[in-house]
Structure 1
Amino acid sequence: MTAQATTATDRPAEELFAGLFLDPPDDPYPVYRRLRERAPVLLTSDGALVLSRYADCDAALRHRAFGKGDEQIGVGMAGVSAEERRNARESFGHSMLMANPPEHTRLRRAVGSAFTNRHVDELRPAIERRADELLAGLADDPGADFMDGLALPLPVNVISDLLGVPEDERLSFTGKILAMLAPPAGVEDFRATVALWTELGGYFSDLLDAKSADPRDDLLSRLATAPKEARLSREEQVSTALLLFSAGFVTTTNLLGNSLHLLLDRPDQQAVLREDPSLIPNAVEEFLRYDSPVQLDARTVLEPVDFAGTPLRSGQVVVTVIGGANHDPEAPGMTGDPDVLDVARPDPVHLSFASGVHFCLGAHLARLEARVVLERLFGTGYPSVTRAGEAERRPGLPLRGMARLPVALNRA
């Protein structure tokens, strides 16, 4: 049963929520807990509905009256003109990330076969080879950065192989995508993000032209040469390619870094995995629950509706605080203390891949990559994995990950 909304703006709760963006703490989970306990359903002064309990977040992500919209583009940036907002919406609007059924269904169907569990499982040998090569490089260079040495290049190369991005062009614009996904601090950052999206869109448009002329066995070739009646428009192809490339590595990179960062601080949990490597798939779910790569998700109200005791009008924004929901002691099946990491926790439940029609298309691929890396680190080959310097987090709250994680790997 969902909680009742506050009957008036709860200023202290709203300040708690705003503070998460203005000055994101290294550990946001105590703030989430205070928000969840004080105002689990918070209606802010600007009309956003903020949810921080598992049941409410799950229900909102599944609700048919809530979908994706572009109302949030440029919000709060007085210097962004109406024309700039329209141009940005036009640039971003062809992606399935911004679409709702039936358009979302059509766009997702065009690429869904590449992300089935069966097809992804067939990628395991290639993922294992790349992981082994990258880990060997880290072992040869004690103190090297795990993020640059493995957490970034592994998923970049895996998604590039699947899409058909040329090997020598992959990492050249990865940094631009990371910059594009960083939360804009002001109008100039917003404009830079739109410019980067346009630049990268041009790259993928040219690549799709090349695939159309000389198709290979990859997803972009299939998009470019699909039967005319099922083929996406060129704008949709470009947006789909850019979305799959960026989403295909960012979340996994954050998952890998967050997982190892947690284990480096908890030798007892490392010991549990070394003693029983069969727990690694379960551990991946616990890492996703405990320190989610995606902390917040938002939906737009598509039609007037009452939700959690709150009348909502079309265009209002519903914010699901996934990081807080994952630590809700009332989440279904939750056992033990949700604020304690337990790699042996039975069937960890989380919303880190969202829920409903926008459930992450690449969830199984991200899980597989994380399992392979953890199997190599804590199942075989490296009896000692230790921190070798100060770790550093990436700025911003919605996407939570490490910028730097120096490690030392000792071979058996």
Structure 2
Amino acid sequence: MSPDTAVSTVLAQQHPEAEQLYFQLLSAPPADPFPDYHRLREMAPALLTGDGSTLVLTRHQDGDAALRNRNFGKGDEWLRLHVKDIPEAELRPVMERMQRSMILTNPPDHTRLRRVVSSAFTARHVAALRPSIERWNNELMDRLVADPGGDFMTTFAMPLPVHVISDLLGVPESDRPLIAPAIHDMGLLIEPAATSDEIVQGARAENTLAAYFSELLAEKRKNPGDDMLSRLIASEADEVLDETEAIATAILLFAGGNKPTANMLGNGLYALLETPGALERLRADRALIPSAVEEMLRYDAPAHVDIISVLKPTTFLGADLTAGQNVIIMLGAANRDPEVFAEPDSFEVGRTENPHLSFAAGPHYCLGGPLARIEGEVFLNRLLDRFSGVTLGEPELCAGLGHHGFEKLPITLHA
């Protein structure tokens, strides 16, 4: 089957009631969006907005086909929706860098950038990070033990990927507390419900990271090491990357390897604790841990939406699309599609068929997927090794679609 071919029998349609629901989800995401996802899929699984500018997909089959379609790719139209009221000086340097990173480039530039970075995410390199991941799991779990009822997100889920990706990149440990807060704010740039003030906040955070990595890359030029940033410098010297691309790539790797993994850990732990018998089943059969991690990713994905752009005129699901239009894949809905997943609203640690779209698909499939998986597996093994149980406090959800997870998740670990 050609990746340009949509095999779905569903045709794109306009549907005022479905469009209203879609805009409600985008502008004010509820704490539990899944009933709305099901309603949207039932009313208009391929929704064409009234102005014809956007195609919204909620079925797994259609989302997967769109992500693999060579006529679609990444563009900045989605971000420009937010920026009408933002001073150009605030946003211009951010846009220039983002347009030079993998997140907003397409082949051949995307292929060139991805080739440089992919060397750090081979099975061998990821496996080599296991001791680092185990070390940080133990240290951060010790901090949770010392603070019964403490917040899992700020004490464990957020610091863990910061340290792991920093070890990979070569970010000094002393610098990490200074730049980690910018990750949260930068995430506002991809949040559909973000206000103009929040976009400015995100842009300033990106500028902060750019200034930091510009200085760190300069230091790596003088004193290269065995780390990813030094390899970026080598690529720059070989004229594979220029300086802007190296900075943009460093920011993308640092930020991209953090918030999504933190959300995976928080969302996954919550699902495990809220599903009777799930943790005990893993304790009895550790072989289920890899499938449990996949289910953590599917059941409540770290991001519930992916946005791609039409690169050239094409017909998709019966809709005649022109360059610059947006295609919105509702990942949270696709991952609960009953045509693909049996009992999609049930959390099943032993689920064997699990082709979720949480890492996207096609050319922009997440390079960090293998690293996130091993972080999840080490976490579950360490949790079961060290503790007999976990008590959950009152959580506080961050109801976003670009990033979907908990602001606070209080827990108590029992020896």
Q: Smaller-chain TM-score range?
A: over 0.9
CA–CA separation in structure 1 for the residues paired with 2:346 and 2:74:
33
Give yes or no for the alignment of 1:239 onto 2:248. Answer: yes
Alignment equivalent of 2:102, drawn from 96, 103, 109:
96
The 3 A distance-change label for structure 1 pair 42 and 83 is farther
Distance of 1:85 and 1:228 partners within structure 2? 29
Deviation at 1:344, TM superposition (A): 1.1
1:336-366 CA-to-partner distances (Å, cap 9, x unmatched) read 3111111111132200000001000100000
1:319 is matched with 328
Give distance in 1, aligned partners of 2:83 and 2:113. 31
Distance 1:187 1:402 in 2: 23
Indicate which of 272, 281, 290 corresponds to 1:263: 272
Q: Scaled by the length of structure 2, what TM-score is found?
A: 0.94
Query: Which of 216, 229, 233 matches 1:220?
Result: 229
1:309 Cα offset (Å): 0.9
Give, in whole Å, the separation in 1 of the partners of 2:254 and 2:93: 22
Other-structure match for 2:354: 348
Deviations along 1:95-130, whole A, 9 cap, x unmatched? 111000110010011111111112101111221121
CA drift of 1:77 comes to 4.8
Alpha carbons 2:182, 2:206 under 8 Å: kept:
no
Cα distance in 1 between the residues matched to 2:270 and 2:93: 39
Distance 2:210 2:93 in 1: 14
Q: Equivalent residue of 2:56, what SS?
A: strand
- Please say if 1:17 is aligned against 2:22: yes
CA distance in 1, matches of 2:216, 2:91: 27
Aligned residue among 96, 118, 121 for 1:115: 121
- Give structure 1 regions of 4+ aligned residues with deviation exceeding 4 angstroms: 81-88
Percentage identity across aligned positions?
46
Instruction: Sort the Cα spacing of 1:102 and 1:403 in 2 relative to 1 into closer, same or farther, 3 A.
Output: same
Give 1:42-57 correspondences, 5 Å limit: 42-46=47-51, 47-57=53-63
Equivalent residue of 1:226, what SS? helix
Deviates further, 79-88 or 95-104: 79-88
Question: Match of 2:80, SS?
Answer: coil
How many residues of Structure 1 are paired with residues of Structure 2 in the alignment?
405
The question of whether the paired residues in 2 share the 8 Å contact of 1:279 and 1:344 is answered with: yes
2:397 aligns to what?
A: 393
Contact conserved, 1:74 with 1:85, CA < 8 A, in 2?
no
Q: Structure 1: any 5+ residue segments left out of the alignment?
A: none
Compared CA separation, residues 99 and 163, structure 1 to 2 (3 A): same
SS at match of 2:32: coil
Stretches of structure 2 lacking an aligned partner (at least 5 in a row):
1-6
DSSP-derived class of the 2:277 partner: helix
Question: Could you list the per-position Cα deviations for residues 3-50 of structure 1 after superposition, in whole angstroms to 9, with x for gaps in the alignment?
Answer: 43344x311101111111222111111111111111000001241000
Q: Is the 8 A contact 1:48 1:317 kept in 2?
A: yes
Alignment pair present for 1:279 and 2:318: no
Q: Distance in 2 between matches of 1:228 and 1:94?
A: 17
Alpha carbon RMSD of aligned pairs, Å? 1.6
Say which SS state the counterpart of residue 327 (structure 2) adopts.
strand
CA deviation string 1:286-342 (max 9, x = no partner): 1111111111101100000000111100100000011101111112xx3x3111111
Give the Cα–Cα distance (whole angstroms) in 1 for the partners of residues 372 and 198 of structure 2. Answer: 29
- Asked if the contact 1:3/1:56 (under 8 Å) is kept, the reply is no
1:32 aligns with 2:46: no
C-alpha spacing 1:18/1:328, structure 2 compared with 1 (3 Å): same
Give 1:406's match in structure 2, choosing from 404, 410, 414. 410
Does the 8 A contact of 1:52 with 1:320 survive in 2? Answer: yes
Distance 1:228 1:237 in 2: 11
* Distance (whole Å) between structure 1 residues aligned to residue 91 and residue 319 of structure 2: 29
In structure 2, distance between residues paired with 1:78 and 1:362: 33
Q: Contact conserved, 1:298 with 1:319, CA < 8 A, in 2? A: yes
Measure how far apart 1:264 and its partner are.
Answer: 1.7
One-letter amino acid of the structure 1 residue matched with residue 377 of structure 2: R
